[in-house]
Chains A and B, each alone.
Chain A
Amino acid sequence: MLAAITGDDLLQTGFSGVALGCKYALIALGFSIIFKATGVINFAQGAFVLIGAYFTYHFTQTWSLNFYLSIVLAMAAGALVGIVIEALVLRRLVNEAPVTVIMVTIGILFVLDNVVTAIWGPDNRNLGDPWGVDTRELLGVTLADRDMWTIAFTGLVLVAFYFFFRYSTLGLAMRAAAVDPEAAMAQGIPARRVYRVSWAIAGMVAALAGTTLAAGSGQLSPATGALALVAFPAMILGGLDSPLGAVVGGIIIGLVQQYTALLAPEYFDWVGESFERVSPYLVMIVILLIRPFGLYGTREVRRV
């Protein structure tokens, strides 16, 4: 017997899929900006997300600041974390093999994740956001306030990225350094500053991502950082070095997850419980086999 799935259900799921996808997109944007500028896949991004969320929590709940001010402060603090990590560790690893850099960022992830747990404890907490579990109705679809804010934030970040890279001097320098670091340095572009800024931006975006992930009731716990792992398929899907790809990939993954959660128990329950946890990886593998550099990624040119 099949329970009927109505058009409203599909629309509703579509909306929540996009909202979830935007959260992944925010995480993936942080990955892609570091990758684009420095060629590093930053596994510690999940820890940045976690730290950012706890910063927001700390500023609103412990220091009783305004929530939106807290977000801005958390983003600034997140940027600082990114800069410190870059200066302490990653700066020494320029031009190292990918495996070295990946493992170093995994090491950083372990340290940061557990330090966060040690500081703030393992319990679930309320972020203290004003959106809570409020919802509103539109065309028969229930829209959660926090989801709409997430979508708005993602749009905002994407637009900001566009203007930053298109019109600012630093953005231009970063694009040049991404295309060809040596030629950029020969033109007098300070590679160090480019690296530092990209880690700072990643830390900022991560704080925003963490805040949107932890919004709602009792959603903030050390496990929040693990969600960043689902952003990997999103980022890979879009292509590692493309901010637009990160957003498109994020939304695709969000939709895939929500629709498998809706449809799998009804139509293909043989795939097992909570299949939505792994469906992003399946989609990623299939797409990668067809397009090895993602949807918007730059094909790697290899010369002998």
Chain B
Amino acid sequence: MAAIAHAFRTGGPNRDLVLSYAEDVKLLRSPRRTPWRWVFLVASAALFWLLPTYFVGDPGLRVLAMCGIFAIGAIGLNLLTGFTGQVSLGHAFFVGAGAYTAAYFGGQRGWSMPAYLLLAALIGFVVGGVVGPFALRLRGNYLVIVTLGLVFLGQHLWSNWDSVTGGGTGISLGAAPMSIGPLDFKEGIELGGEAYTFEQSFFWLVWGLVALGALLAKNLVRSRPGRAMQAIRDRDLSAEVIGVSLARYKVGAFAWSSAYAAVAGALYGLLQQYVSPVEFGLFLSITYLAMIIIGGLGTIFGSVLGALFVWGGRSMIEQNSGQAIFDPLITTGSGEPGIFTIGEFNAVLYGLAIVLFLLFEPRGLAAFWFRVKSWFLTWPFSY
């Protein structure tokens, strides 16, 4: 409505009319043109500050930090699967690579946090770049199964490379330094004379990195590489014919995706303080896939939404499993009523959520938002 009023008032073109390519790919336009985006940004910034300080206690912040860690990995997987169309069950392998990088260089050799986080990203990038060429030779279903094999090979490596990974029992990250300059996240940072807990500090660290990662990914997908990746997703043969280098962008997508995964793995290790091979199994890969499907394939925003929904929902069920409404479904111990254990119940929910979303809302949670947005944008001609 505002748009129409504007057009009547000025007689010029509608303010939503895009006149150039540069304008089309712009990240942010003036608040007058995209008010909701600005509201969203300001609200996020406010939540970023207010959630840890006023609203959520330390246990809740741990859950939210874990959501953020998953969000980083999910953004990576979405670059690969949602934007480039390469389905990978191997994400857990790259997450593991990052976690063990942090454990070895941070926990064992005492590198500083920026150093081992960067190294984790670099190792993820390189390992992804090594795996990437498989995607040139193999397509579709065959690629899926090869990446499935990658998870098992990875778990074998983590279980047997004792000197670095601590073998099957795992390795502690307790000794890993966690400070950037004067800010020590492990002891809790001090800002303006105020001391904060580990959970508060870590929440800021993780969600700061989520914002950074989302911005990087957004820049990637709105510029030339992103267009090339989406062309490959839609039909790789046609993309090749119009001059997109499959080798460059498929391998690049794998490399970037696993760099994200590795950073997520490193942060995961830091939050858990301990990593062992069983954690980086097929279940983790599928959790990541579930997140991007539920959140929305091919949207950065959806990856974050999916991570919040899946991990947040899971934690919520875990905390409330003793409540009366879950009694017929979840058993909290032997002799307690209920059909499923908590782990089984969560797995069944994952399964159902994946199936139902793919059947009824294949574009995921992000689609709800798009629908609301377009309803308001096209008002009063919404249909």
Smallest Cβ distance from A99 to chain B, in angstroms? Answer: 4
* Cross-interface CB contact of A118 among B138, B155, B289, B340, cutoff 8 Å: B340
Residues of A contacting B81 in the complex (Cβ-Cβ under 8 angstroms): 99
A110 & B350 in contact (Cβ 8 Å cutoff): yes
Smallest Cβ distance from A97 to chain B, in angstroms? Answer: 8
Residues of A contacting B282 in the complex (Cβ-Cβ under 8 angstroms): 229
Residues of A contacting B352 in the complex (Cβ-Cβ under 8 angstroms): 107, 111
Complex-state Cα separation, A102 to B155, whole angstroms: 23
A103 & B351 in contact (Cβ 8 Å cutoff): no
Residues of A contacting B358 in the complex (Cβ-Cβ under 8 angstroms): 93, 100, 103-104, 107
Complex-state Cα separation, A293 to B137, whole angstroms: 10
B153 & A102 in contact (Cβ 8 Å cutoff): no
Say yes or no: A277-B348 contact (C-beta < 8 A), given A106-B354, A111-B355, A288-B146: no
Residues of A contacting B347 in the complex (Cβ-Cβ under 8 angstroms): 110-111, 113-114
A98 & B141 in contact (Cβ 8 Å cutoff): yes
In the assembled complex, A289 has its CB within 8 A of some CB on chain B: yes
Tell me the dominant secondary structure on chain A's binding face. Answer: helix
Residues of A contacting B355 in the complex (Cβ-Cβ under 8 angstroms): 89, 104, 107-108, 111
Residues of B contacting A110 in the complex (Cβ-Cβ under 8 angstroms): 286, 347-348, 350-351, 354
- Interface 0/1 of B141-154, CB less than 8 Å to A: 11011101110110
Complex-state Cα separation, A115 to B344, whole angstroms: 8
A114 & B340 in contact (Cβ 8 Å cutoff): yes
B348 & A272 in contact (Cβ 8 Å cutoff): no
In the assembled complex, A194 has its CB within 8 A of some CB on chain B: no
Q: Closest A-chain residue to B356, C-beta based? A: A107
Interface segment among A59-67, A165-173, A203-211, A278-286: the answer is: A278-286
* Cross-interface CB contact of A285 among B146, B161, B289, cutoff 8 Å: B146
Residues of B contacting A199 in the complex (Cβ-Cβ under 8 angstroms): none
Complex-state Cα separation, A104 to B238, whole angstroms: 27
Say yes or no: A278-B153 contact (C-beta < 8 A), given A104-B359, A232-B148: yes
In the assembled complex, A109 has its CB within 8 A of some CB on chain B: yes
* Cross-interface CB contact of A103 among B145, B146, B354, cutoff 8 Å: B354
Q: Closest B-chain residue to A273, C-beta based? A: B160
Docked complex: A274-304 residues within 8 A CB-CB of B: 274-275, 277-278, 281-282, 284-285, 288-289, 292-293, 300, 302, 304
Complex-state Cα separation, A281 to B159, whole angstroms: 16
In the assembled complex, B312 has its CB within 8 A of some CB on chain A: no
In the assembled complex, B237 has its CB within 8 A of some CB on chain A: yes
Residues of A contacting B138 in the complex (Cβ-Cβ under 8 angstroms): 288, 292
Q: Which of B87, B137, B152 has the most CB of A within 10 A?
A: B152
Q: What is the number of residues of chain A that contact chain B, defined by CB distance less than 8 Å? A: 45
Say yes or no: A272-B160 contact (C-beta < 8 A), given A102-B87, A285-B149: yes
B145 & A284 in contact (Cβ 8 Å cutoff): yes
Complex-state Cα separation, A293 to B333, whole angstroms: 48
A302 & B237 in contact (Cβ 8 Å cutoff): yes
B141 & A41 in contact (Cβ 8 Å cutoff): yes
Q: Closest B-chain residue to A297, C-beta based? A: B142
- Interface 0/1 of A99-143, CB less than 8 Å to B: 110111011111101110110000000000000000000000000
Complex-state Cα separation, A275 to B145, whole angstroms: 19
Interface size range of chain B in the complex: 35 or more
Residues of B contacting A115 in the complex (Cβ-Cβ under 8 angstroms): 348
Residues of B contacting A284 in the complex (Cβ-Cβ under 8 angstroms): 145-146, 149
In the assembled complex, A197 has its CB within 8 A of some CB on chain B: no
Q: Closest A-chain residue to B293, C-beta based? A: A103
A100 & B145 in contact (Cβ 8 Å cutoff): no
In the assembled complex, B174 has its CB within 8 A of some CB on chain A: no
Residues of B contacting A271 in the complex (Cβ-Cβ under 8 angstroms): 160
Residues of B contacting A109 in the complex (Cβ-Cβ under 8 angstroms): 351
- Interface 0/1 of B129-173, CB less than 8 Å to A: 000001001111110111011101101100111000000000000
Smallest Cβ distance from A89 to chain B, in angstroms? Answer: 6
A304 & B289 in contact (Cβ 8 Å cutoff): no
Residues of B contacting A256 in the complex (Cβ-Cβ under 8 angstroms): none
* Cross-interface CB contact of B344 among A114, A233, A275, cutoff 8 Å: A114
A240 & B141 in contact (Cβ 8 Å cutoff): yes
Q: Which of A271, A278, A300 has the most CB of B within 10 A?
A: A278
Complex-state Cα separation, A267 to B150, whole angstroms: 24
Complex-state Cα separation, A277 to B159, whole angstroms: 12
Complex-state Cα separation, A113 to B159, whole angstroms: 26
Say yes or no: A236-B142 contact (C-beta < 8 A), given A92-B359, A106-B354, A117-B344: yes
In the assembled complex, B205 has its CB within 8 A of some CB on chain A: no
Q: Closest B-chain residue to A44, C-beta based? A: B351
Residues of B contacting A281 in the complex (Cβ-Cβ under 8 angstroms): 148-150, 152-153
Residues of A contacting B286 in the complex (Cβ-Cβ under 8 angstroms): 106, 110
17 A–B pairs (Cβ distance < 8 Å), ordered by A: A98-B144, A102-B87, A103-B293, A104-B358, A107-B353, A107-B354, A118-B341, A232-B145, A232-B148, A272-B161, A278-B155, A278-B156, A281-B153, A285-B146, A288-B137, A289-B134, A304-B237
4 further A-B contacts with Cβ under 8 Å, apart from A111-B348, A236-B142, A289-B137, are A41-B144, A102-B141, A104-B355, A106-B289
Top 7 closest pairs, chain A to chain B, by CB: A272-B160, A110-B351, A281-B149, A107-B354, A111-B351, A107-B355, A114-B344
- Partner-B contacts on A (CB < 8 A): 35, 41, 89, 92-93, 98-100, 102-104, 106-111, 113-115, 117-118, 229, 232-233, 236, 240, 271-275, 277-278, 281-282, 284-285, 288-289, 292-293, 300, 302, 304
